[in-house]
Amino acid sequence: MIAIINYGSGNIAAIANIYKQLKIPYIVTDDLVELANADRFILPGVGAFDATICYLNDSGILATLNEQVVIQKKRVLGICVGMQILAESSEEGKLAGLGWIPGRVRKIDANLLATDLKLPHMGWNSIKPKANAPLLAGVDVERGFYFLHNYYFDAKDVADVSATVQYGKEMPCAVARANVFGMQFHPEKSHANGVAIFRNFAEL
Protein backbone atom coordinates (compact mmCIF):
# COMPACT_ATOMS: atom_id res chain seq x y z
CA MET A 1 0.00 0.00 0.00
CA ILE A 2 1.33 3.41 -1.04
CA ALA A 3 0.60 6.25 1.38
CA ILE A 4 0.28 9.67 -0.24
CA ILE A 5 0.94 11.92 2.73
CA ASN A 6 -1.70 14.59 3.20
CA TYR A 7 -0.13 17.80 4.46
CA GLY A 8 -2.21 20.26 2.44
CA SER A 9 -0.32 19.87 -0.82
CA GLY A 10 -2.31 20.89 -3.86
CA ASN A 11 -1.29 18.00 -6.13
CA ILE A 12 -2.47 15.10 -3.97
CA ALA A 13 -5.61 14.46 -6.04
CA ALA A 14 -3.61 14.24 -9.28
CA ILE A 15 -1.28 11.61 -7.81
CA ALA A 16 -4.21 9.66 -6.37
CA ASN A 17 -5.98 9.71 -9.76
CA ILE A 18 -2.93 8.20 -11.46
CA TYR A 19 -2.76 5.32 -8.99
CA LYS A 20 -6.50 4.82 -9.31
CA GLN A 21 -6.14 4.52 -13.10
CA LEU A 22 -3.21 2.13 -12.67
CA LYS A 23 -5.28 0.04 -10.21
CA ILE A 24 -2.43 0.22 -7.69
CA PRO A 25 -3.52 0.33 -4.02
CA TYR A 26 -3.00 3.67 -2.32
CA ILE A 27 -4.32 5.84 0.49
CA VAL A 28 -4.28 9.59 1.06
CA THR A 29 -3.67 10.05 4.76
CA ASP A 30 -2.13 11.91 7.65
CA ASP A 31 -3.13 9.20 10.13
CA LEU A 32 -0.09 7.89 11.99
CA VAL A 33 -1.38 4.32 12.26
CA GLU A 34 -2.16 4.16 8.55
CA LEU A 35 1.26 5.57 7.77
CA ALA A 36 2.96 2.96 9.94
CA ASN A 37 1.11 0.21 8.09
CA ALA A 38 1.97 1.48 4.58
CA ASP A 39 4.65 -0.11 2.40
CA ARG A 40 5.99 3.11 0.88
CA PHE A 41 5.33 6.84 0.95
CA ILE A 42 4.95 9.84 -1.33
CA LEU A 43 5.67 13.37 -0.08
CA PRO A 44 3.78 15.61 -2.55
CA GLY A 45 5.21 18.90 -3.62
CA VAL A 46 3.45 22.22 -3.27
CA GLY A 47 4.40 24.63 -0.50
CA ALA A 48 7.28 26.26 1.34
CA PHE A 49 10.20 24.50 3.04
CA ASP A 50 9.74 25.72 6.63
CA ALA A 51 5.94 25.41 6.58
CA THR A 52 6.21 21.82 5.38
CA ILE A 53 8.79 20.88 8.04
CA CYS A 54 6.67 22.55 10.75
CA TYR A 55 3.56 20.62 9.75
CA LEU A 56 5.38 17.30 9.64
CA ASN A 57 6.88 17.97 13.08
CA ASP A 58 3.72 19.26 14.75
CA SER A 59 1.52 16.48 13.36
CA GLY A 60 3.82 13.66 14.48
CA ILE A 61 4.24 12.55 10.88
CA LEU A 62 7.97 13.25 10.92
CA ALA A 63 8.63 10.92 13.86
CA THR A 64 6.59 8.19 12.16
CA LEU A 65 8.43 8.67 8.86
CA ASN A 66 11.81 8.55 10.57
CA GLU A 67 10.89 5.18 12.03
CA GLN A 68 9.47 3.82 8.78
CA VAL A 69 12.06 5.25 6.35
CA VAL A 70 15.28 5.47 8.36
CA ILE A 71 14.89 2.45 10.63
CA GLN A 72 12.65 0.10 8.66
CA LYS A 73 14.01 1.23 5.28
CA LYS A 74 10.65 1.64 3.56
CA ARG A 75 10.81 3.58 0.29
CA VAL A 76 9.83 7.23 0.03
CA LEU A 77 9.45 9.56 -2.96
CA GLY A 78 9.57 13.34 -2.47
CA ILE A 79 8.21 15.63 -5.19
CA CYS A 80 9.25 19.31 -5.56
CA VAL A 81 9.21 20.68 -1.98
CA GLY A 82 8.79 17.05 -0.92
CA MET A 83 12.19 16.47 -2.51
CA GLN A 84 13.71 19.62 -1.06
CA ILE A 85 12.88 18.69 2.54
CA LEU A 86 14.95 15.51 2.08
CA ALA A 87 18.03 17.78 2.26
CA GLU A 88 19.78 19.00 5.38
CA SER A 89 18.77 22.64 4.89
CA SER A 90 17.43 25.17 2.40
CA GLU A 91 18.15 28.76 1.45
CA GLU A 92 14.37 29.24 1.35
CA GLY A 93 13.95 28.67 5.09
CA LYS A 94 15.68 28.56 8.45
CA LEU A 95 14.67 25.14 9.74
CA ALA A 96 16.64 21.93 9.38
CA GLY A 97 15.49 19.50 6.72
CA LEU A 98 15.09 15.76 7.13
CA GLY A 99 18.73 15.15 6.18
CA TRP A 100 17.98 11.81 4.53
CA ILE A 101 20.12 12.81 1.55
CA PRO A 102 23.10 15.06 2.40
CA GLY A 103 22.95 18.42 0.69
CA ARG A 104 21.48 21.91 0.72
CA VAL A 105 18.65 23.38 -1.33
CA ARG A 106 19.85 26.51 -3.11
CA LYS A 107 18.06 29.31 -4.93
CA ILE A 108 18.70 29.44 -8.66
CA ASP A 109 20.86 32.54 -9.23
CA ALA A 110 19.68 34.22 -12.43
CA ASN A 111 22.99 36.08 -12.64
CA LEU A 112 24.83 32.78 -13.05
CA LEU A 113 22.67 31.41 -15.86
CA ALA A 114 24.42 31.26 -19.21
CA THR A 115 21.45 32.78 -21.02
CA ASP A 116 18.73 35.28 -20.16
CA LEU A 117 16.12 32.90 -18.79
CA LYS A 118 13.15 33.69 -16.60
CA LEU A 119 12.59 32.45 -13.07
CA PRO A 120 10.88 30.46 -11.83
CA HIS A 121 11.93 27.65 -14.16
CA MET A 122 8.47 26.77 -15.46
CA GLY A 123 7.29 24.40 -18.16
CA TRP A 124 8.51 21.28 -19.94
CA ASN A 125 12.19 20.43 -20.01
CA SER A 126 14.16 17.41 -21.11
CA ILE A 127 16.36 15.72 -18.51
CA LYS A 128 19.62 13.78 -18.47
CA PRO A 129 19.34 10.64 -16.33
CA LYS A 130 22.30 8.90 -14.80
CA ALA A 131 22.86 5.16 -15.12
CA ASN A 132 20.90 2.91 -12.79
CA ALA A 133 18.01 5.30 -12.11
CA PRO A 134 15.14 2.83 -11.63
CA LEU A 135 12.38 5.42 -11.32
CA LEU A 136 13.28 6.82 -14.74
CA ALA A 137 13.10 3.47 -16.55
CA GLY A 138 10.96 3.67 -19.68
CA VAL A 139 10.50 7.45 -19.75
CA ASP A 140 11.01 9.67 -22.80
CA VAL A 141 13.87 11.85 -21.52
CA GLU A 142 13.72 14.18 -24.54
CA ARG A 143 10.08 14.99 -23.88
CA GLY A 144 11.02 15.35 -20.24
CA PHE A 145 8.88 16.62 -17.41
CA TYR A 146 6.97 19.65 -16.17
CA PHE A 147 8.95 21.96 -13.86
CA LEU A 148 7.94 24.83 -11.60
CA HIS A 149 10.67 25.93 -9.18
CA ASN A 150 13.12 28.57 -8.02
CA TYR A 151 15.31 26.20 -5.98
CA TYR A 152 17.38 23.11 -6.69
CA PHE A 153 18.92 20.30 -4.62
CA ASP A 154 22.68 20.73 -4.32
CA ALA A 155 23.71 17.21 -3.25
CA LYS A 156 26.97 16.80 -1.33
CA ASP A 157 27.68 13.51 -3.09
CA VAL A 158 27.33 13.48 -6.88
CA ALA A 159 26.52 9.77 -6.62
CA ASP A 160 23.18 10.77 -5.07
CA VAL A 161 22.16 12.70 -8.21
CA SER A 162 20.10 10.47 -10.51
CA ALA A 163 19.22 13.09 -13.16
CA THR A 164 20.05 16.65 -14.18
CA VAL A 165 18.25 19.37 -16.13
CA GLN A 166 19.75 22.06 -18.34
CA TYR A 167 18.26 25.51 -17.71
CA GLY A 168 20.94 28.10 -18.24
CA LYS A 169 23.23 25.73 -16.37
CA GLU A 170 23.11 22.06 -15.43
CA MET A 171 21.30 21.40 -12.17
CA PRO A 172 20.28 18.25 -10.30
CA CYS A 173 16.58 17.47 -10.80
CA ALA A 174 16.37 13.99 -9.24
CA VAL A 175 18.19 12.42 -6.31
CA ALA A 176 18.30 8.96 -4.80
CA ARG A 177 20.08 7.30 -1.91
CA ALA A 178 19.17 3.73 -0.89
CA ASN A 179 15.39 3.77 -0.23
CA VAL A 180 14.98 7.56 -0.53
CA PHE A 181 14.07 9.21 -3.85
CA GLY A 182 13.35 12.81 -4.81
CA MET A 183 12.30 14.67 -7.96
CA GLN A 184 12.22 18.42 -8.50
CA PHE A 185 9.84 18.19 -11.46
CA HIS A 186 6.15 17.31 -11.18
CA PRO A 187 5.48 13.79 -12.50
CA GLU A 188 1.77 14.21 -11.73
CA LYS A 189 1.71 16.97 -14.40
CA SER A 190 3.93 15.13 -16.87
CA HIS A 191 1.45 12.84 -18.63
CA ALA A 192 2.81 9.44 -19.76
CA ASN A 193 6.28 10.10 -18.33
CA GLY A 194 4.79 10.85 -14.94
CA VAL A 195 2.64 7.75 -15.03
CA ALA A 196 5.78 5.71 -15.68
CA ILE A 197 7.47 7.29 -12.64
CA PHE A 198 4.61 6.38 -10.31
CA ARG A 199 4.36 2.86 -11.73
CA ASN A 200 8.10 2.35 -11.31
CA PHE A 201 7.94 3.53 -7.70
CA ALA A 202 5.12 1.09 -6.93
CA GLU A 203 7.12 -1.78 -8.45
CA LEU A 204 10.48 -1.10 -6.80
Find the catalytic residue in 34, 80, 121, 170.
Answer: 80
Quick one: DSSP state of residue 130? P
Identity at 121, one-letter amino acid code: H
Find the catalytic residue in 88, 91, 188, 191.
Answer: 188
Are 79 and 45 in contact, with CB atoms under 8 Å apart?
yes
Active site residue 149: no
Active site residue 186: yes
- d(Cα 31, Cα 72) in Å, to the nearest integer? 18
Find the catalytic residue in 54, 142, 186, 191.
Answer: 186
C-alpha distances out from residue 177 to 10, 57, 77, 187, Å: 26, 23, 11, 19
User: Which ranges of 72-190 would DSSP assign to H, the alpha helix?
Assistant: 81-84
Active site residue 80: yes
Query: What amino acid positions are annotated as catalytic residues?
Result: 80, 186, 188
